[in-house]
Amino acid sequence: MMKRFFVIAFIISAFLAVNISSALAAETLRLITWSGYTPKVLLDKFEKETGIKVMPTNSSNEEMIAKLRATRGAGFDLAQPSQDRISSVQEKYNLYQPIDLSKVKTDQIIPSMLEAVKKNTMVNGKPHAVPFCWGSSGLVINRKFARDAQDYTDILNKKYAGRISYRLKRPTLLALAFAMGDDPFAKYGDINAYRALMEKVGQAMIEGKALVKNYWTNGDALLQSMRTEEVYLAMAWDKGGWKLHAENPEIDFFAPKSGALGWIDTFAIPAKSENVEGAYKWINFILRPENAAVFTNLDTTANCSKGANKFVDPAISGNFERSFPPAAIENIKWYPPVPAKLEEIEGKILDKVKAAK
C-alpha cells in the first residue's frame, strides 16, 4: 500500500518536473485574452511552427486594464483589449507600447478595419493596436415565447417580466440610450450631457428592475438559462445567440432596431512585454486566413483577416447573413474610444441600479 503510494507520488513528481522544466526551457508567450480566442489546435500548430508555447489567461477589458495597470504594463507579452478601451488608458497609464506595423503582415488584415483601429488607438501619433476580430452586442431572443421583441427597450418590457437578463455593464447603458432615441457616442465629449443621459437611462433601468430575472455575469451561465427556457430575452453577444441557434432554432441573435453595438478586439503589446518578437509572430500566425477561419469556425466570432471567409464553415457565415441583413450592418454602432471619467459616471449609475429595490 505504502509502496504503491510512493511509486505513484514519484511518477507524478517526475512528470511535473519534466513538465515544468520543459515549460521553462521552451520560449513562451503570455497572452491575456478572452475565452475562446485561443483554440487548442492553433496553439499546438503555433508551437510546432515556431517552438513558442502560448500561455493564455482569459479575462475581460476591465480586468486586463486593472492587471496591466497594477504592474505598469508587465506580466503579459501580448494583450487583446477592445479598440475603444485603449487610447484613454494609454494616455493616462502608458500600459502599451506602439505597434510596429512593419512587423505585422498588414496585407492579411481587412484594410477598413485596420484603418479604423489605427485611428482609434492613435496616441502621440503612434498606433497601439491592430484588429483581430469583431462582433456585436444585440438581443438574443427565444421566438417561441417572445415573438415581437424588436429593440433594446424590450428588456424593460412588462410583457417579458421575469424572463429578461442582461449585464449590469456599460454596453447596456449605451444600448438603452440608443433605443431611447439618443446618441450617447455623440455625447462622449460633453461630460455633463453624458451624465444627464446616463442618469435618465439608469432611472429607466431602476423602474424596469422588477422585470429582470438576473443580471448575468458569466456568458455560459446565461446560455444555460436560455437553453432551459428560464430566460427568453437577453442582451448579449452575437456568438452566444448563434451557439444557441445551432441547438434550438427558435433562439437566435437579432440586431435590434436601433442598431447592434459593434466592437473590435485587437492585439496590443504591453509596455513591459518580455517577448515582443513572439507577440508579432502570434499576430501574424492567427491572422493567416486559414488559421483565422479555424478560430471563427470554433468560436463563431467574425475575424478581421482578409480572405478568411473562403475557409469559414457555411453554417457559421450563415449565422451572420441571417442576423445581419444589409440595413442592419449599416446600422451597427461602432464603439468610439472611451474618454477618461466616463467609466466613473457609468459605474456610479450601475451601482445605483444594483442597489435599488
Partner 1 sequence: MKNQKRWGLFFFLSPVLLWLFLLIVLPHIDLLAMSFRIENDDGQMVWSLSNYLNFFEEPIYWLTFVRTAIFSILVTFLTFVIALPVAFYITKVVAPKFQGFLLVLLLLPFWVSELVRVYGWMILLRESGVINHFLIKLGLLNQPIEMLYKDATMILGLVYTSMLFMVVPITSVLDSLDNSLIEAAYDLGANMWTILFKIIIPHATPGIVSGSIVVFMLTLGNYLTPNLMGGKNSLWFTEQIYNQFIASFNWNQGSAFGFLLLVLSSIVVWLGLKLTRQNLRKVVQ
Binding site for partner 1 (CB under 8 A): 62-63, 65-66, 69, 89, 162, 169, 209, 212-215, 217, 221, 225, 228-230, 343-344, 346-348, 350-352, 354-355, 357
Q: Give the Cα separation of 252 and 237 in Å (integer).
A: 11
Contact 234, 97 (CB under 8 A): no
Contact 264, 134 (CB under 8 A): yes
Measured from the CB of residue 60, what is the shortest distance to partner 1 in angstroms?
9
Of 3 and 357, nearer to partner 1 (C-beta) is 357
Contact 242, 14 (CB under 8 A): no
- Give the DSSP letter string of 101-131: GGGS-GGGB-HHHHHHHHHHT-BTTB---EE
Of 110 and 211, nearer to partner 1 (C-beta) is 211
Measured from the CB of residue 355, what is the shortest distance to partner 1 in angstroms?
5
Of 196 and 340, nearer to partner 1 (C-beta) is 340
Measured from the CB of residue 244, what is the shortest distance to partner 1 in angstroms?
15
Measured from the CB of residue 18, what is the shortest distance to partner 1 in angstroms?
27
Measured from the CB of residue 30, what is the shortest distance to partner 1 in angstroms?
20
Of 111 and 162, nearer to partner 1 (C-beta) is 162
Q: Give the Cα separation of 114 and 131 in Å (integer).
A: 6
Place of cell 454602432: 333
CA 283 from chain centre, in angstroms, equals: 17
Q: Can you tell me whether residue 212 is helix, strand or coil?
A: strand
Measured from the CB of residue 232, what is the shortest distance to partner 1 in angstroms?
12
Of 225 and 284, nearer to partner 1 (C-beta) is 225
Measured from the CB of residue 128, what is the shortest distance to partner 1 in angstroms?
17
Phi, psi at 132, each rounded to 5°: -120, -55
Q: Can you tell me whether residue 74 is helix, strand or coil?
A: coil
Contact 143, 232 (CB under 8 A): no
Of 54 and 140, nearer to partner 1 (C-beta) is 140
Of 94 and 284, nearer to partner 1 (C-beta) is 94
Nearest to 167 by CA among 201, 118, 126, 212: 212
Contact 232, 146 (CB under 8 A): yes
Measured from the CB of residue 248, what is the shortest distance to partner 1 in angstroms?
14
Neighbours of 41 (CB within 10 A): 11
Burial class (CB in 10 A: 0-12, 13-18, 19+), 152: buried
Measured from the CB of residue 114, what is the shortest distance to partner 1 in angstroms?
28
Contact 56, 37 (CB under 8 A): yes
Q: Give the Cα separation of 267 and 79 in Å (integer).
A: 6
Of 308 and 349, nearer to partner 1 (C-beta) is 349
Contact 205, 353 (CB under 8 A): yes
Q: Can you tell me whether residue 263 is helix, strand or coil?
A: strand
Of 118 and 169, nearer to partner 1 (C-beta) is 169
Measured from the CB of residue 69, what is the shortest distance to partner 1 in angstroms?
8
Of 17 and 221, nearer to partner 1 (C-beta) is 221
